[in-house]
């Protein structure tokens, strides 16, 4: 890139400040890449060899984009700032959440072509479960959930996931391109509705936005 063009692009920036921001961004990107690498490489990960990125050469079932994992980890850090300086605890929590989901939905790991592993579905469900754990962890008189205790997190997420019919993730959705704020809100609304339908003994797909009665199979 011509030097003059570079100068024109940064003309409105303080160069020292810009350099610091670039260095911070590089560090952030390196950390994120390391965390995704752990998710992909660690044999105890619920997503062992499942990340769909360039470093994948042969084995595994690449079906989850790195950005979906990165965004999910960022969301967990926003909800639990104590994980900011404790990457091991962050990864343990992330693994615990998704081990619970895997225990509830083993079939989805066997047949990876489903909405749960798409960017929108993955990020939405990760946010949904993170919010649920945050709420339950504050209700000390009713639930024994410790965010630093993977077993309690896994058990809670398995219970919640089990209340959402697996067919929701397998059915054909009416809308595409849902990886937006509005799209993820729509998925969350359907997740809540499925749990209410279960409680009220309705058909699981009753009154959903994304799945119609054809989901009742």
Show the domain range for 105.
Answer: 3-162
Q: Is residue 157 part of a domain?
A: yes
Confidence of residue 213 (pLDDT cuts 50, 70, 90): low
Question: What gap in Å lies between CA 154 and CA 45, rounded to an integer?
Answer: 13
Question: How many other C-beta atoms can be found within 10 angstroms of the C-beta atom of residue 192?
Answer: 12
User: Which CA distances in Å does 50 have to 24, 58, 137, 199?
Assistant: 28, 11, 30, 34
Q: Is residue 32 part of a domain?
A: yes
What does pLDDT average to over the chain?
Answer: 85
Alpha helices per DSSP H over 42-180: 66-79, 87-104, 106-110, 119-137, 150-162, 167-170
178 versus 137: which is more confidently predicted?
Answer: 178
Distance of CA 153 to the CA centre of its chain: 15
Are the CB atoms for 93 and 132 separated by under 8 Å?
Answer: no
In this prediction, residue 7 carries a pLDDT of 30
Q: Is residue 205 part of a domain?
A: no
Question: How many other C-beta atoms can be found within 10 angstroms of the C-beta atom of residue 77?
Answer: 18
Whole-number percent of the chain with pLDDT over 70: 80
Q: Is residue 70 part of a domain?
A: yes
Q: Is residue 182 part of a domain?
A: no
Q: Is residue 145 part of a domain?
A: yes
Q: Is residue 76 part of a domain?
A: yes
Q: How many domains does the chain have?
A: 1
Residues 11-69: pLDDT tens digits? Answer: 344 555 545 554 454 445 666 788 999 999 999 999 999 999 887 666 788 999 999 99
Q: Is residue 180 part of a domain?
A: no
Nearest to 125 by CA among 82, 168, 86: 168
């Amino acid at each position: 890139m011509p030097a003059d063009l570079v100068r024109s692009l940064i003309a409105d920036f303080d160069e020292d400040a810009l350099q610091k921001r670039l260095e911070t961004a590089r560090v952030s990107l390196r950390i994120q890449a390391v965390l995704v690498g752990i998710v992909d490489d660690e044999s105890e990960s619920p997503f062992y060899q499942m990340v769909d990125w360039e470093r994948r050469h042969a084995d595994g079932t690449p079906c989850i984009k790195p950005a979906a994992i990165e965004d999910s980890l960022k969301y967990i850090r926003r909800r639990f700032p104590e994980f900011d300086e404790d990457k091991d605890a962050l990864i343990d929590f992330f693994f615990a959440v998704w081990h619970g989901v895997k225990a509830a939905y083993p079939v989805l790991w066997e047949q990876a072509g489903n909405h749960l592993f798409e960017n929108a579905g993955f990020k939405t469900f990760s946010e949904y479960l993170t919010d649920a754990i945050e709420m339950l962890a504050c209700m000390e008189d009713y639930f024994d959930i410790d965010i630093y205790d993977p077993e309690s997190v896994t058990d809670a997420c398995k219970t919640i996931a089990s209340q959402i019919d697996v067919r929701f993730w397998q059915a054909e959705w009416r809308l595409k391109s849902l990886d937006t704020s509005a799209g993820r809100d729509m998925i969350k609304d359907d997740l809540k509705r499925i749990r209410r339908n279960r409680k009220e003994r309705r058909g699981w797909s009753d009154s959903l936005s994304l799945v119609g009665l054809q989901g009742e199979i």
